[in-house]
Amino acid sequence: MNEIIFLVEEADEGGYIAKALGESIFTQSETIAELKELVKDAVKCHFDLANMPKMIRLHFVKEEVFAV
């Protein structure tokens, strides 16, 4: 596997939530810097060395709602 992609959203209670696409990996944190470290740790725990992705991509999704 070359790359793993995480969708990152702002949590309702503050901070950020990251969910991997195609894998059962989920983490959350208060800051983006902390999120990056937690995502790295989660990926290292989820994969063995032979299947470890070489790159992690964070895709930030921001939902915006407004009146018509």
Domain boundaries, the chain: 3-60
The mean pLDDT of 12-16, rounded to a whole number, is 94
List, for residues 32-51, the tens digit of each pLDDT value: 999 999 999 999 999 999 99
For 9, the enclosing helix (H) or strand (E) is strand 3-10
Buried b (16+ CB within 10 A) or exposed e, 7-40: ebeeeeeeebbbbbeebebebbbeeeeebbeebe
Grouping H, G, I as helix, E, B as strand and the rest as coil, residue 62 is coil
Tell me the pTM. Answer: 0.88
